Amino acid sequence: MYKPNDLIFRTTTSLIAFILLGFSIYLLLAGHNSPGGGFIGGLMTSAAIILMYMAYGSDILRKILPVNYRMLIPTGLLIAAGTGIGSFLFQQPFLSHTYNHFHLPVFGDLELATAMLFDFGVYFTVLGVTVTIILSIAEDR
Amino acid sequence: MSNLAVLPIIIPLIAGIILAFFPKKLALVRTLTKVFIIGNLAVAGFSAWHVFNHGSIILETGDWAAPYGIIIVADQLSVLLVLTTNIMAAACAFYAPYSLPDRKERYYFYTFFFFLITGVSGAFLTGDIFNLFVFFEVLLMASYALIVLGGDKVQLRESVKYVFINLFSSMLFVTAVGFLYGTVGTVNMAQIAQRVQEVDQQGILTAIGILLFFVFAVKAALFPLYYWMPKSYAVPNPVISALFGALLTKVGIYSIIRVFSLIFIHRIDLTHEVFIWIAGLSMIFGVIGALSTNNIKLIIAYNIIPAIGFILWGIGVFNQEAVSGAIYYLIHDMIIKASLFLLVGTIAYAAGTSDLRKFSGLIHYYPFLGWLLFVSGFVLAGIPPFSGFIGKLLLLKGSLADEKVAVVIIALLSSLLILYSIMKIFIRGFWGEKDDTFEPKPVKGRTAPVVALLALSVFLGIGAEFIYPSVESISRYLLDPANYINAVLEG
């Protein structure tokens, strides 16, 4: 049986995947004031996961990231839709957003907006959709 | 209170999302589907009641003032259509468990079903032309999934055609919206209407209007652009065909009504005159198609084309009576097409084939089914006590007042041929000798939703006195775009 020795690929993957994951979180959180946001953040995270999949195969990937990616799609949609409906509780029109300043111990003064929650919803949906598409094509025999 | 306008979009969306978490637990999914669809029907009914008694509901999403944010406009026409959508969606939800194999139901059928309802309700309610495009895509994505669900060979072949033609028209839609935005600098429909009025609809704007008409005519399957429609609507499961036949083409024709009664109304001699000819040709080619085939599902699918033609004819004539007739016919046709697709699906299941040449004498085993088809044929063709009659009568009166005689003759002849195409199913399939080797199958659960829809349709005809004032007030509202513009921009 042909068995490739992809030592270089696997070693660099374990480095690059972490950088990719960190960069995707940065993109997700930076979206409000600079280029980025939920969509590109989700794509970048799924790029990291696909890279790990290519290097290590689906069995190992399932062991280190035991996530059902198909479930991420409705979860993300529910978060996004919930952010819109949340405004109903405060007698505001659908999708109204609000923000406030918080003083957190490590980060200092932070401006947190509910639009962030919507971005998380987009992030999870994009991640779920992309990884589901690629894995279901790849695992199809 | 203004959030009421968005609820018919949100409830199916949430329902679809929740059902996506456990698609394999069929008993729970079916129960939840019925609960959600009944709840949504109640909400749609309440908002319709509210709009007819207290005036349009304008929701400025995100609390951004009118031309800057996305506006949800629940006026009389849109709430009436949302209510009709939910009625026939409820009938489909009750029909689906009997008609779909468990295998298809497990693969997210109900999720896509609810997303389709989300898209359709959204397209009816939005007041923003780019948002209209987005809701078109929502409903088209759901319909791509529904048309291919199960993966039979014919479904794959038809879905390729369906996806390609819709992708192409969506691209044209984006292009048209781009041109429109480049010319008038806004995508809010009320503000577009205001600005088009200010510059008196110059040549470029008429060109954009025709481009938009082309886009919507592809979605609505009008005369030169209908070739993708009949086969791709006939191949999926009857409940999916019913959803498509009753909703998707009607969203296209609704968009034509909205755009050409609100925005592009200053060159009626150019645009609306063309509509009448396209409507007449749609009627002719639709009935030719319906008469040409022996597949009972395809007969019903071809009958969509003349119905869309009738509605467009009302827009083309564009006076009070014709527009009332078009709206009456639109409501009537959504209900009767859903009922006919479900009914014909039941007949094809009962007979074991959808080829008219291969069965006859069904009346000996299914007398009730036979008479249901008989009444449906009368309702569809517009025999006096039933609902198709009132819409067509108004259309005839409207266009005779405008001296458009040719299209009246075409419409009357095509009504006759529509009646013949349905009665052909009745005569060839139900009449005839009793076949003793035939084993009847139980169809009780499948007929109940059809009976409910048909009863409503008959009520639309008999209770016309009760419904007509609302339709008339809608057409009065549509003929004066200032109503809409003022409600959105100053409300």
CA dist., res. B430 & res. B439, Å (int): 15
Q: What is the 3-state secondary structure (H, E, C) of B56-73?
A: CEEEEHHHCCCCCCCEEE
Query: Which of B4, B9, B17, B121 to mutate to probe the A interface, most A CBs <10 Å?
Result: B17
Maximum CA extent, chain B:
73
B3 and A93 within 8 Å at the Cβ level: the answer is yes
Do the domain assignments include residue A2? no
Q: What are phi and psi of B57, to 5 degrees?
A: -105, 125
**Identity (one letter) of the amino acid at B174?**
V
ipTM above 0.85, yes or no: yes
CA distances, B45 to each of A23, A93, B37, B148 (Å): 49, 21, 12, 32
| Integer Cα distance of B442 and B424 in angstroms | 24
CB atoms within 10 A of CB B221: 27
If pLDDT is split at 50, 70 and 90, which confidence band does A141 have?
low
Please report residues of A whose CB lies closer than 8 A to that of B60: 93
Closest by CA to B243, choosing from B91, B397, B424, is B91
Q: Where are the beta strands (DSSP E) in chain A?
A: 99-104, 108-113
CA B20 – CA B14 distance, rounded (Å): 10
CA distance B72 to chain A (A): 10
> What total of structural domains would you count in chain A?
1
Q: Which residue has the tokens 């659960």?
A: B445
* Cβ within 8 Å of residue A122, ≥6 positions away: A37, A38, A39, A42, A76, A80
Q: Cα separation of A57 and A49, whole Å? A: 11
Contact A94/B13, CB-based, under 8 Å?
A: no
Domain assignment present for A1: no
Task: List the one residue out of B176, B246, B188, B181 whose CA is nearest residue B216.
Answer: B176
Q: In terms of Cα–Cα distance, which of B426, B432, B351, B342 is closest to B381?
A: B426
- Contact between chains at B63 and A85 (C-beta distance less than 8 A): no
Q: Is B139:B130 a contact under the CB 8 Å cutoff? A: no
Gap from B141 CA to chain A (nearest CA, Å):
14
Q: What are phi and psi of B180, to 5 degrees?
A: -65, -45
Question: Would you state the pLDDT for residue B491?
Answer: 61
Cα gap B151→B453, rounded to integer Å: 30
Domain residues for A53?
7-138
With 0-12 / 13-18 / 19 or more C-beta atoms within 10 angstroms meaning exposed / middle / buried, residue A1 is: exposed
A94–B10 CB contact, under 8 Å? yes
Question: B435 — phi, psi (to 5°)?
Answer: -100, 110
Minimal Cα–Cα distance from B111 to chain A, Å?
10
Contact state of A95 with B61 under an 8 Å Cβ cutoff: yes
What rounded mean pLDDT belongs to chain A? Answer: 88
pLDDT of residue B1: 61
In whole angstroms, what is the distance from residue B144 CA to residue B473 CA? Answer: 36
Residue A2 has what pLDDT? 64
Which residue in chain A is spatially nearest to B22 when comparing CA positions? A71
At A1 the pLDDT is 53
C-alpha dist (Å) from residue B285 to A40, B218, B307? 48, 15, 12
Question: Which parts of chain B have pLDDT scores under 50?
Answer: none
Residue A79 lies in a domain: yes
Q: What is the pLDDT of residues B316-364, one digit of tens each?
A: 988 899 999 999 999 999 999 999 999 999 999 888 888 888 888 888 8
- Of B307, B308, B273, B213, which is closest to residue B406 (Cα–Cα)? B273
For residue B380, the SS3 value is helix
How confident is the model over A20-30, as pLDDT tens digits? 999 999 999 98
Q: Choose the closest CB to B13 out of A81, A92, A97.
A: A81
**Interface contact B17-A92, CB threshold 8 A:** no
- Rounded CA separation B230/B215 (Å): 18
